[in-house]
Amino acid sequence: MLGVEPSRVGELARTRGIETISEFFTREVALQARTNHGPAKIVTATNVFAHIEHIHEVVENILLLLDQNGIFVSESHYCLSLVETLQYDTIYHEHLRYYSLQSLQQLLQLHGLEVIHAKRIPTHGGSVRVYAARSGRFSVRDTVDALLKQESTGLTDTALDDFRRKTVLSKLQLHALLLGIKRQGQKVYGIAAPSRASTLINYIGLDQGSMECVVETAGSLKIGKYIPGTLIPVMEESKLYQDQPEYVLILAWHIAEELIPKLVAKGYRGHFIVPLPEPRLVHSSAKR
């Protein structure tokens, strides 16, 4: 196994016994990897296509590395899931594109690759895993046409207009929910500060009057700073259990089902607000 990772994550991979090249995936790196290790039977790219500016160069470099009968497996945050579950909070500067299977298929076809299998997976609130090979090397599974048919009805102009309308409604619904809480003099803390939280907080228009703080796990580099565009402080998670605010807004709402039981187990006794796709309350007693 060989990894290519320009960030410090590469250092972590090496400590776990995975040989890793700490460079960007350039043509030179692809040729170096092929020379030193031979052609790859499998090449994977997990949640990176949306972030890369020169995507065609990357696909060409994958072809340089890939064996003639090799398989390229990519995972990308899925545009259909984004629309279905109102994930407007994932639309921010780091994401240059939002992929459907059709767009991935067209991209890969430009470079002589054929999508042979595709499946939806739950990562990041809904991703698509796509298997591709050089054209004509393998039979194409029925999963490809099945998913393309889902997109033909789920990514229409009408569906996108509905997405826009529901986004506005969800904003107003969350404001109404918070208004009722604040009228009673109760506190709301946010939990977790992923990148998507900044989009949600700024679009909704939350400030320190509507949410006292956001808490993060100990050791986070975000502690002691503020949510971008606001004066909402990011504080250490222990404050949640000490203060016991009446409500917690789950900013990493796409993993709410896993996150809420963990917070209850750690001692939080209040209630949870899941903001999307529609704002809803979850009582901690229901998760005990």
Query: What SS3 state is found at 84?
Result: helix
Does position 287 have pLDDT exceeding 70, yes or no? no
Structure tokens of 10?
């590469």
Q: Quick one: 168 and 283 in the same domain?
A: yes
Q: Which residues contact 63 (CB under 8 A, 6 or more apart)?
A: 111, 112, 113
Mean pLDDT to the nearest integer, 3-22: 91
Q: Quick one: 169 and 111 in the same domain?
A: no
- In a domain, residue 171? The reply is yes
- In a domain, residue 32? The reply is no
Mean pLDDT to the nearest integer, 246-252: 96
Beta bridge pairs of residue 109: none
| Rounded Cα–Cα distance for residues 279 and 256 (Å) | 12
- In a domain, residue 31? The reply is no
Read off the pLDDT band of 285 (50, 70, 90): low
Read off the pLDDT band of 245 (50, 70, 90): very high
> What CATH number is associated with residue 65?
3.40.50.150
The domain tally of the chain equals 2
Out of 138, 155, 172, pick the residue that ends a domain: 155
Does position 38 have pLDDT exceeding 60, yes or no? yes
- In a domain, residue 278? The reply is yes
Read off the pLDDT band of 162 (50, 70, 90): very high
Which is more confidently placed, 111 or 93? 111
Out of 155, 178, 201, pick the residue that ends a domain: 155
Q: Quick one: 171 and 256 in the same domain?
A: yes
Max distance between CA atoms of the chain, in angstroms, equals 67
Q: Which residues contact 221 (CB under 8 A, 6 or more apart)?
A: none
**Beta strand pairing call for 188-191 and 213-216:** parallel
Q: Quick one: 138 and 219 in the same domain?
A: no
Q: Quick one: 124 and 189 in the same domain?
A: no
**281 — alpha (psi -120 to 50), left (phi > 0) or beta?**
beta
Q: Quick one: 282 and 168 in the same domain?
A: yes
pLDDT (tens digit per residue) in 39-74: 999 999 999 999 898 999 999 999 999 999 999 999
Q: Quick one: 173 and 283 in the same domain?
A: yes
pLDDT score at 24:
92
Does position 284 have pLDDT exceeding 80, yes or no? no
Q: Quick one: 122 and 175 in the same domain?
A: no
Mean pLDDT to the nearest integer, 222-226: 96
Structure tokens of 243?
């203060």
Q: Quick one: 136 and 216 in the same domain?
A: no
| Rounded Cα–Cα distance for residues 102 and 105 (Å) | 5
Does position 254 have pLDDT exceeding 60, yes or no? yes
**Could you count the other beta carbons within 10 Å of the beta carbon of residue 146?**
12
Element at 135 (helix H, strand E): none
- In a domain, residue 234? The reply is yes
> What CATH number is associated with residue 194?
3.40.50.720
**Could you count the other beta carbons within 10 Å of the beta carbon of residue 45?**
18
Read off the pLDDT band of 127 (50, 70, 90): very high
Residue 81: phi and psi, rounded to 5, are -65, -40
pLDDT score at 2:
93
Mean pLDDT to the nearest integer, 226-243: 96
pLDDT score at 89:
94
Does position 286 have pLDDT exceeding 80, yes or no? no
Residue of 44, 45, 25, 28 whose CA lies nearest to 36 = 28
Q: Taking all residues of the chain, what is their mean pLDDT, rounded to a whole number?
A: 94
Does position 224 have pLDDT exceeding 60, yes or no? yes
Q: Which domain holds residue 273?
A: 164-287
Please confirm whether the linkage preceding 277 is cis (ω < 30° from 0): yes
Q: Quick one: 207 and 180 in the same domain?
A: yes
Angle between helices 55-65 and 101-109 (to 10 degrees): 60
Q: Quick one: 137 and 195 in the same domain?
A: no
pLDDT score at 94:
84
pLDDT score at 283:
85
Sequence letter at residue 32: Q
pLDDT score at 193:
87
pLDDT score at 153:
95
- In a domain, residue 28? The reply is no
Mean pLDDT to the nearest integer, 123-131: 94
Out of 155, 184, 206, pick the residue that ends a domain: 155
Q: Quick one: 150 and 86 in the same domain?
A: yes
| Rounded Cα–Cα distance for residues 14 and 115 (Å) | 32
- In a domain, residue 80? The reply is yes
pLDDT score at 201:
96
